[in-house]
């Protein structure tokens, strides 16, 4: 194809052709000639040659800029469809009329359906009252602004009208300013300063954790079995193959039961040395029958696996595990490994974790890291991945290396059964049975190890509804546990440092203070200071320190750096759910005992492929898999997915929408005081609450 434009170069000119393809079909393909060796080497110092080279390079630069402009125009054209889709999604939410108040009562064995409606709506009522007051004050301030009452930045000095007080409105506004200065600003400023102090303390704690992680990386500190690197797990003499009990608790999780059972049955461990318990708490007969059929299929293939179904399903997951540990044959086993229904361990999982117990009688728990098969599914999963990467690589790894204690994650861990028994076993007193047993084991002197290089694949919640319920349980349970175990911590025979770490750092600072100041400071106090400008929040509190903390949080997941701003805004948005859960757990309100199984999507992963490839090895009497049976399984899976999609829906979350209106109202008020950083923060944070309130951040259902 001949070039469309003649650059004034002879046909004999030799260069490197560069082909540029325009995405717009109305544009043609343009062939540009790159610089040749003669262009790069100045052999003729005459001005004519230099001018010729400059002219050609200028033309090439012009076309590169045109290409960039064309791409930018293409991006701009995509804004209209995106905006149209956004408006359509909002219309669907409003037309359906579904809100979080309609169907929050879907629990497992109890939950919000048992909650007092008065308790349930108290927090939302407070937010609505605050919103109505802010709208009224905004109208009041706008009228005052146009009548000459101005505040000037940066010290927010009040400028009264030059003509003095003339009418009733000016008299009322003057009295309102006096009330603000004398009665509202001092206590609000005190509360602001208190939250800033908590904010700084928590920021220092996070910085220390990051420094500890850097030190571990720098020194290459890594847990090593006492047998050393020379431990040969394959040899008969040096091999360490104790009896291991593997438990898979599940409840109505028909999307993931096949892949988890297959992954566990393919663990590389002597068949006579481990037993698999499938602990089914499903109340759906169809799901229970499917799980039982899957267990029977693996039994026929030679796996040492049992199916257990409770008739009386008390105590949620803790009750399920406690019931399984009461079996008579458990006394023959030394260790127990727990995998939730969506977890898919690699075949060498036990070989990487169990050897750490050898010749280490003080070790009670070996915890593996989680990895996620759907971390790039949508924006919500990407933001969750940032949080959990920091939790594992920084929090748990640092606590494991320096104090041998961290909260058990409830799955992908190996326990010494003796440690469980000495600590009192599984208790159903809270919704965080994993943290409960970890705290009691630590008080009894047991040590923990976290393996950052041993990963177990699982799923992240893809919908905001599922993530919200999960976070509610994760933040209400620790406060329940804190109330119950505080006397035991004070009376335990452990060092003062360990008591300080558990009470102040583990519970108060990271479980109570963090959600408290995040919600109070950025969602309540900051909007209030816009209407009471005599109380100020420094710009470094609103912008710089949160940006630094977000940067530190995102370091363990460097590929997520483009999402640092959405991460900061989303964490503040989630503070309303975490704060509500924290208060519920601390004061034992109805929703504190809510247990909702996190919804799974059944995403395939490398673990699925491994199990499918290795499955024919266990089959007897045939050399090839049954294709008809596999087709039938695929058909049933597609029917289940289709049925599940019909039941899915997006809905609106009223607390988040009310806070969105509150923050946007406060941002409008900040314009009257010319507070730039505060305005932008409130504006973007309000938009973030709006997107979450309309359920536009996670899985979208048409």
**Catalytic residue ranges:** 281, 434
Cis, bond preceding 67 (omega within 30 deg of 0): no
Q: What is the 3-state secondary structure (H, E, C) of 641-660?
A: HHHHHHHCCCCECHHHHHHH
**Closest by Cα among 289, 330, 510 to 415:** 330
Instruction: State residue 229 phi and psi, 5-degree precision.
Output: -65, -20
Q: CA–CA separation, 198 vs 514, rounded Å?
A: 8
Angle at 693 between CA 139 and CA 89, to 5 degrees: 105
Q: CA–CA separation, 243 vs 454, rounded Å?
A: 21
Q: Is 206 exposed, middle or buried (0-12, 13-18, 19+ CB in 10 A)?
A: buried
Q: CA–CA separation, 501 vs 498, rounded Å?
A: 5
C-alpha dist (Å) from residue 584 to 107, 517, 525: 17, 16, 21
Burial 618-651 (b: 16+ CB within 10 A, else e): eeeeeeeeeeeeeeeeeeeeeebeeeeeeeeebb
Q: Is 28 exposed, middle or buried (0-12, 13-18, 19+ CB in 10 A)?
A: exposed
**Closest by Cα among 386, 373, 374 to 565:** 386
| End-to-end CA, the chain | 46
- Alpha-helix residue ranges (DSSP H) falling in 7-46: 37-40
DSSP string, 141-193: HHHHHHTT-EEETTTTEEE--TT---SHHHHHHHHHHHHIIIIIHHHHHHHHH
Residue 344's SS3 state is: strand
CB atoms within 10 A of CB 265: 24
Q: CA–CA separation, 335 vs 353, rounded Å?
A: 11
Q: CA–CA separation, 1 vs 6, rounded Å?
A: 13
- Pairing of the two strands 363-372 and 447-458: parallel
Q: CA–CA separation, 579 vs 660, rounded Å?
A: 16
Q: What is the 3-state secondary structure (H, E, C) of 371-400?
A: EECCCCCCHHHHHHHHHHHHHHHHHHHHHH
């Amino acid at each position: 194809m001949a070039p469309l434009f003649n650059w004034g170069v002879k046909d004999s000119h030799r260069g490197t052709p560069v082909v540029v393809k325009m995405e717009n079909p109305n544009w043609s393909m343009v062939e540009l000639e790159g610089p040749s060796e003669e262009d790069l080497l100045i052999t003729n110092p005459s001005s004519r040659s230099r001018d010729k080279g400059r002219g050609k390079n200028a033309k090439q630069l012009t076309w590169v800029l045109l290409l960039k402009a064309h791409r930018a125009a293409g991006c701009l054209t995509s804004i209209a469809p995106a905006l149209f889709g956004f408006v359509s999604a909002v219309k669907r939410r409003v037309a359906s009329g579904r809100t979080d108040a309609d169907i929050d009562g879907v629990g497992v064995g109890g939950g919000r359906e048992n909650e007092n409606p008065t308790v349930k709506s108290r927090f939302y009522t407070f937010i609505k009252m605050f919103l109505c007051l802010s709208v009224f004050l905004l109208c009041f301030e706008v009228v005052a602004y146009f009548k000459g009452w101005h505040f000037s930045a940066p010290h927010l000095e009040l400028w009264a009208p030059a003509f003095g007080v003339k009418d009733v409105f000016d008299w009322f506004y003057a009295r309102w300013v006096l009330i603000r200065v004398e009665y509202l600003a001092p206590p609000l400023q005190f509360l602001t300063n208190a939250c800033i102090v908590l904010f700084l303390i928590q920021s220092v704690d996070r910085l220390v954790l990051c420094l500890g992680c850097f030190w571990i990386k720098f020194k290459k500190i890594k847990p090593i079995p006492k047998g050393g690197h020379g431990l040969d797990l394959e040899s008969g003499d040096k091999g360490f193959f104790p009896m291991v009990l593997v438990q898979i608790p599940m409840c109505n999780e028909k999307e993931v039961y096949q892949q988890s059972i297959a992954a566990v049955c393919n663990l590389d461990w002597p068949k006579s040395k481990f037993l698999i318990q499938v602990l089914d708490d499903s109340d759906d007969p169809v799901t229970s029958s499917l799980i039982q059929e899957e267990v029977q299929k693996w039994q026929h293939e030679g796996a040492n696996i049992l199916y257990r179904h409770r008739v009386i399903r008390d105590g949620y997951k803790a009750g399920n595990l406690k019931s399984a540990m009461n079996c008579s044959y458990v006394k023959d086993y030394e260790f127990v490994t727990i995998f939730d229904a969506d977890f898919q361990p690699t075949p060498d999982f036990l070989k990487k974790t169990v050897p750490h117990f050898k010749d280490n009688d003080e070790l009670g728990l070996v915890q593996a890291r989680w990895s996620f098969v759907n971390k790039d599914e949508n924006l919500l999963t990407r933001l969750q991945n940032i949080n959990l990467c920091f939790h594992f690589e920084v929090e748990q790894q640092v606590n494991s290396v320096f104090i041998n204690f961290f909260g058990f994650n409830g799955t992908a861990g190996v326990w010494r059964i003796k440690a469980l028994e000495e600590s009192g076993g599984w208790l159903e007193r809270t919704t965080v049975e994993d943290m409960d047993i970890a705290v009691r084991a630590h008080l009894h002197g047991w040590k923990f190890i976290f393996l950052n290089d041993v990963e177990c694949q699982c799923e992240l919640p893809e919908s905001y509804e599922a993530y919200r319920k999960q976070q509610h349980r994760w933040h209400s349970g620790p406060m329940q546990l804190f109330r119950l175990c505080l006397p035991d911590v004070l009376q335990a025979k452990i060092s003062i440092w360990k008591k300080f770490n558990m009470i102040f750092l583990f519970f108060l600072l990271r479980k109570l203070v963090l959600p408290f100041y995040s919600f109070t400071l950025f969602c309540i106090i900051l909007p209030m200071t816009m209407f009471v400008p005599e109380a100020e929040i420094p710009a470094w509190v609103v912008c710089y320190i949160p940006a630094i903390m977000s940067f530190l949080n995102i370091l363990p997941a460097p590929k997520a750096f483009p999402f640092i701003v959405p991460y900061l805004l989303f964490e503040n948005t989630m503070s309303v759910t975490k704060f509500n859960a924290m208060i519920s757990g601390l004061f034992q309100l109805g929703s504190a005992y809510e247990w909702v199984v996190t919804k799974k999507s059944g995403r395939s992963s490398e673990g699925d492929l491994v199990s499918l490839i290795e499955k024919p090895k266990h089959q007897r009497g045939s050399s090839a898999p049954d294709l008809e049976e596999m087709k039938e399984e695929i058909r049933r899976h597609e029917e289940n997915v289709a049925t599940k999609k019909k039941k899915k829906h997006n809905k609106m979350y009223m607390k988040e929408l009310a806070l969105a209106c509150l923050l946007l109202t406060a941002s409008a008020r900040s314009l009257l005081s010319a507070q730039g950083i505060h305005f932008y923060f409130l504006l973007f944070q309000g938009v973030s609450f709006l997107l979450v309130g309309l359920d536009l951040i996670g899985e979208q259902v048409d």
